[in-house]
Structures are given as C-alpha cells and as structure tokens.
Chains A and B, each alone.
Chain A
Amino acid sequence: MALALRRKKAGGASQPPPFRQASKWIDERLGLSKFAPKQLSKVFPDHWSFMLGEVTLYCFVILLATGVYLTFFFEPSVREVTYNGSYAPLVGTQMSAAYKSAVDLSFDVRAGLVMRQMHHWSALLFVAAMVLHLLRVFFTGAYRKPRELNWVIGVNLLILAVINGFLGYSLLDDLLSGTGVRVGYSILLSIPLIGDLAASLVFGGPFPSPAMIPRFFALHVLLLPAAIIGLLSAHLGMVWFQKHTQFRGPDRTEHNVVGTPLFPTYAVKALGLFVLVVAVVAAMSGLAQINPIWKFGPFAEAKTVAAVTSASQPDWYMGWMDGLLRLIPGWETRVAGFMIPNAFWGGIVLPGITFTVMMLWPWLEPRWTKDRKAHNLLDRPRDAPFRAGFGAGVLMFYFLLLLAGSNDVLATIFSVSPENITYVFRVLIFVGPVVTYLVTKRICEDLQGTNAHPAAPGPNHLVIRRADGGYDIAHGVHHDDPHDLVVDPNNTNAPAPGEPIDKGPTSKRKPKPKPKPKPKKEVQN
C-alpha cells in the first residue's frame, strides 16, 4: 500500500518538497522505501485490553527518563555527611550522602520532588500494569503456541521489574527501606548450605555493609535496566514478528489479523496513550505524596542504628512476600546443629515455586487440555473455565497474601487485633482461593455460549409453576427481557371471585427499551 502524500510543489518546479528530499536522502542510504510501507501498514487489533502492555511500556519509558534525571542528583554513597538543607527537623543530623542527596532533591532542587514522585509512582504503575497485562494474557490464553517463549520472557520481565523496584527505593537509605533491606539480607542468609556466604557476597559483608548502596545503584541503574531493555526488545520483537493475537469475531480467523493499520491511526493512538500515561503519572505526582523519606529519617546512621517505624511494609508488589513472612508460623527445622530458618520458606521457596510454575504454565496447561495446537485467536475467559478458575484462585491467593502483609495497618483501620487478623488470614489463604476457583469456574460455565457481561444480571429463566404451587426453572432458556416470565399453566395464582388481584412480586428494575417487539407468552387460563 503506497502512502501517497500530495504536496504542492514549493517554489519552482526544480525543487522537490522537503519531505521528498529527506525521504530520498534516507532511501539512498537505508533503502527505507522498500520495507517501510509494509511495516507501516502492519495491522494491529486494537481491543482496549491489548493496551495494557503498552501502558507498561510507557511507564518504563517514564522510569528511564525520570531516572536519568535523578541520577544527576543522587549520590550513591554511604559517606557520612551532616544535613544542612531547608528541612528543619533534620538539620544537624548525620546521614549518608545517598539519603542527603535524596532529601536535597526533594526540598532544595526545583521540581526535584515532582520528578522523584513521578519516578516512584510510575514504578508502582509499571508493575501494576504489568500484572494486569499478565492477567489479560493469561485469561485469554495468549501464551499458547507459538507464544510460549514470549510468555517466559514476560515472566522474567516481571521478576526483574519487582527486583529493580525494590533496589530502587532501597537506594535512598531511609529508615523504612533500610528495614526492608535487612529483611532481604536475612532471607538470603536463610538459604541452606550457602546462605551466609551468599549474603556476604551480595551485600559485601555483614549487614549493614557500606558496599550495599553503591552496589544497589549499579544494579538498579545499569544491570537490571539493561536486562529489562534487552528482554523487552525481544518481547516486542516477537509480538511484531508473530503478529498480535485477536479475539474471535466476524471475519476473524486463525490465519488473519483484523484491526487498524499502524500508520497513521494506530501510531497516533499509541503515542496519544503514551502522552496520557505521562499525564496521569504527572497528575498523581502533584496530587499525592509518595515515600516521604524526610519523615522516616536516615537508616542505620550513627544515632538511629536500631530504629524502626511501625507500619513497615515494602512497596505493594512485594507485599505478598511480606504476607508470607507474617503468616507462616514459627517453624524452623533443626537437625544435627544445622538449621533451615523460618524465612527460607516464605522468602525463597514459595516465591521460587510461584515464578517457576508461572514460567512453565504454557507447558503445564496442555497436560490437562491436551491442546497443543497453535492459536492466534484468543479465548474469552468463559471459554476456558478451568484456566479462568485456576487463575482467579491463584490471584486470590496472592491478593490475600498482600492483604495479610498489611495486617497491622488493617488492625488499626478496623480496630481488630493483628493476631486475629493473622489467624483469619491463615485460614483464608486456603479457603479463599478454593472458593474463588469454584465460583469463577461456575460463572464461566454458566456464561459459556452467551454474550452476557459477567456483571450483568443473571440470565433470565423461564419459570414454570407446578400444580402443587412449587416452581420449576426451565433450563437453557435465555431472554433479554429483564423480567422473569412465570408461566402458570394451572392458574394456581388466579384470585378467587371478588378477591383483589395479586400482581405478584414486582421487579425493581426498569425494563430496558426493547430494540424490537418480542412475541409475548400468554398466561394460559
């Protein structure tokens, strides 16, 4: 498809218009005109849920841009300095240069705080959008052949994003994040056989080591972003090359892709989405305070070495791990002087199982479904009730763990003791996912074959009144009329002569205007 742009010739007939000049210049060097038209007319299905991956990508771009700005001001060093900036409660306090540079950025650099907040809010949104994107891919079965590799790359991106987020907010060396780093160190320590050596190697010595902050900086700014960019490029490249999946619909088959061509409309919409993501992040960064490190104070500094604040939680994407640490009772294995500490199970084993199963899922699911064909058409969740139920159950498990990780905050909000919340959650994390699985699976089975929205009122039933006065539901009949239709062949409800007419239960829902008249069922007398 040639993209003809008609332009009036500028000036005299000898000078081609500027775009043509530029296009020729590039073409002589890169041969762009040969492959650009085909690539620019690539078709992208544009269901709104396909934009979640884009939102994730744009949050990452914001992170890179704001992150670069932050690196110009942040000093990744634990060199001890005395604060002398404009935040009065800290003046004269000893602190690390890292913490001081962050407080200075927040108070004494113009637009510094808004940049810091944009970086942190978009980090939270980055992982949140990634999780939503993962859920969309999961519940629609987009990870099936030929996209298993892309799924694995995606799960690894999630792991890297979570780790990088943790390293990022720990860089600031404030009291809250420092407590979290202590927990991370202890989790490494809990690994059998090699834990003490592993912790010492990663942290550069016993906790808190002066090597921590500079190392975190190198990981957070250099190594992990490079890994993320590499994997992300492969991720996007595969989507480009394999073409995006699409939902079933008119004219859509396994062998075509229906949507909007990339240029111009889809590209403008994608860019517009990017701009709006920045807008939302910027608005949040002005509206809501995040990580007010000046209130927490510095970590492990000379005068506050063993301080801690109540309501110590990690950022939300690690909240589920904190929940595991809180819920697992004090089980510790001790054999012949060797010990497997409590933290090992919640800190290493369960997260390990989580991500391993997640990564292997494209190969695990066919064991049940026996479906090893390639798929380019997506399932709606209701089309795969087991997958939807399983996914919902697992999601509920991690959501409950996330809530359990805030048990002390929940305790103060609801005026309940944290102990009781812990006991309740210990039961709930087993019961909740099972119930969720059963309910979701059932809803999917009920919705199969219909186009009803899951949140819409349930399918209406034809209700038949028996001679003895009881009711039977006629299965498999679905109407669009919101009123239940009661067919009363034996007229058990007919009023006696002279009695006022009983109109029966009235529906509180207003009837939707009918698009076309439906034949009314007659009440037989």
Chain B
Amino acid sequence: MNERHIAPAFIVAVLCAFGFMVTYGFDGNTQLQGGLLGGAFGGLGVGMILWAKHLMPNEEVEDHRHEMESSPEEQQEFNELIEGAAGDVTRRKFLSRLGLAAVGSIGLAALFPLKSLGPNPGNSLFRTGWAKGLRLVTQEGKPIKATDLEVGGALTVFPDNGEHRNERDSTIVVKVDASAIKPRRGRESWAPEGNIAYSKVCTHVGCPVGLYRENTQELLCPCHQSTFDVLDGARPIFGPASRSLPQLPLSIDSEGYLIAQSDYKEPVGPGFWSRGRRKMEDD
C-alpha cells in the first residue's frame, strides 16, 4: 500500500465535493446531495485512515500509568489546607449558621418563580367545553342531525362553542342499533336513536381513540391498543386502559340536531391523583 493506492480516495472526495456544489447549484435532489456528501466525506475519511494505517508509524508504545492515589504526605497537605480554612468557618457557629440560613432562604426564594411556569390546574382537569344544549359539530363546524349517521357510522365531534377546537372536548359519536345498547344505570336516555357518544380522549394516556371496529362495535386506541365495548358503556375489554370512556349524554333538539344534555359526568382522559376527590357538578 503506497501513495498511489491512497490517492484515489482523495480524488473521489474532491470529485464528490464538487459534485455536491454543482447539484446544490442546480437544486439537486436529496439523494444526490446526501450521496455526494457521503462520497466526499467517505473519500476523505478512507484516505486518512489508509494513510494512518499504512504510511504512519503504527508500533505499539508503552506508557507508565501513574498511581491515582496521591502519597500520604500530599493527602495530608491537602486535608490540612481544606480543614484549616473550613474549620475556621465551622468554629464560628453563630455566624456560619446564619450564613447557611441566608443561603438556604435565597435558594428557597429562587424556586418560587418556577410557579409562574404554569397555572394551577384548578378545575381544568375536571371540566370540558361541553354544556347543556350545545350542538355536536364536526371539525369543519357542521352540526349533526340524529339521522345523519348510518348504522355503523362514526364521527368525531366537538361542542358548538366557538371556532377554537379543544382536544379535551373531542368526542366520538357512533351510530348503532339502538336495541343492542346495554345502557348503564341512569344512562337510558343518553343515546337517542342509537347515537351514542363517548369521550375520544383515551383513559390510559390520552391518545385519540380513533379506530372504530364497526362489525364488532368496539373502539380501539391506536397507541397502546386499549379496546372499548361501545354497547357496554365503552368498558375496556383489552389493553392498558382501566376505566371506561366517559359517555356524553345526548338528546335531540327541536330541529333534529344532536345536542349534549350536559358536560361529561366524570373527568375525561387519563387518570390523576385527585380524580376521585371532587364531585362533578351538574350543569
């Protein structure tokens, strides 16, 4: 291996580098750009390695490894240095304790601005934008009539409360055969004409429960495969979700549009520490 063998590597590098400049000038595609950059760096690197391996000294050399630990004298000197000055401080108990108090309180004070990073959660985890009488509208803002969906249909809806759509309000309404629903106690009137609505925020870690398996009437979350039985109050039948999807009580207004009877009766989405501690107010 001599210079003649290594030279082509550098020549390739030069050619590829100029090639990159040319393709950049003509707005070349990503494949060319990446490939030519790779070729340029590759040629350079191969040339350098070959040079180092074959034209530079490669004998093994030995060096002495110093003991990490210092000699007892050195350690003694160091310890005395630190202990001397530090002991001077600790001896003055009154002053050093006050000094510690000063440092400690400043440290504590410095933590306070962190509170401004975000608001107190307050009610935000317990409420959504749904309220009595609000119409169900699609993402595009179109209200849904009770007869719009076919049996086996599913749509994502939001409350008709302004332009801004909030992820927490997302609800999936599914049309099933009304006689097949097994309503939970107190929910008999919540699914008029087979339109049944659940929160789309998965009770596991909050992904949108967007998959509806129409032939088995199950909602599936794509993130971790939690499966919810639509006919049984969205009870989780597989996967890491442990709570049913909250159900939105629906009714039909005078013009035939689907509306909410109230907000959800329980907090939507993933669990948190104080979830069961607050009573949900009825609207």
A interface with B by C-beta (< 8 Å): 41-43, 110-111, 113-114, 117-118, 146, 179, 182-183, 185-187, 189-197, 199-209, 211, 242-243, 251, 254-261, 264-265, 268-269, 271-276, 278-280, 282-287, 300, 302-312, 322, 325-332, 334, 336-343, 346-347, 374, 376, 407-408, 418-419, 422
Contacts and interface: CB of A to CB of B under 8 A. Distances in A.
A208 B201 CA distance: 13
Contacts of A200: 118-121, 124
A196 B272 contact: yes
B38 A286 contact: yes
Interface of B: 24, 27, 30-42, 44-46, 48-49, 51-53, 56-58, 60-65, 67-68, 114-115, 117-121, 124-125, 139-140, 156, 158, 163-168, 170, 200, 204-208, 210-211, 222-226, 236, 238-243, 269-277
A211 B116 CA distance: 12
B56 A255 contact: no
B52 A268 contact: yes
B165 A260 contact: no
A109 to B, nearest CB: 10
Nearest to A192: B273
A306 B273 contact: no
A305 B49 contact: no
A337 B277 contact: yes
A265 B52 contact: yes
Contacts of A194: 273
Contacts of A204: 117-118
Given A308-B207, A419-B238, A208 B167 contact: yes
Given A306-B156, A341-B271, A272 B240 contact: no
Contacts of A201: 114-115, 117-118
A342 B63 contact: no
Contacts of B117: 201-202, 204
Contacts of B65: 243, 254-257, 376
A272 B224 contact: no
Contacts of A258: 60-63
A502 B240 CA distance: 63
Contacts of B139: 302-306
B45 A257 contact: no
Given A114-B37, A260-B60, A260-B61, A207 B46 contact: no
11 contacts: A179-B207, A204-B117, A205-B119, A256-B64, A275-B45, A282-B38, A286-B34, A303-B140, A308-B207, A308-B208, A337-B275
A271 to B, nearest CB: 6
Contact of B118 (A203, A256, A280, A418): A203
Given A200-B124, A207-B168, A276-B46, 10 more contacts: A110-B27, A146-B68, A183-B223, A268-B49, A269-B48, A284-B34, A286-B37, A302-B139, A325-B240, A418-B225
Given A265-B56, A283-B42, A343-B205, A206 B34 contact: no
A183 B241 CA distance: 13
Given A146-B68, A186-B269, A329 B158 contact: no
A339 B276 contact: yes
Given A183-B206, A283-B35, A265 B45 contact: no
A275 B41 contact: yes
Nearest to A243: B65
Contacts of B200: 306
A325 B222 CA distance: 13
Contact of B167 (A275, A306, A310): A306
A293 B68 CA distance: 52
Nearest to B124: A206
A339 B271 contact: yes
Given A201-B118, A305-B165, A332-B243, A287 B34 contact: yes
A330 B42 contact: no
Contacts of B33: 111, 114, 286
A326 B224 contact: yes
A119 B209 CA distance: 32
A309 B210 CA distance: 9
Given A196-B125, A306-B210, A257 B37 contact: no
A179 B31 contact: no
A422 B222 contact: no
Contacts of B119: 200, 205
Contacts of A243: 63, 65
A325 B52 CA distance: 49
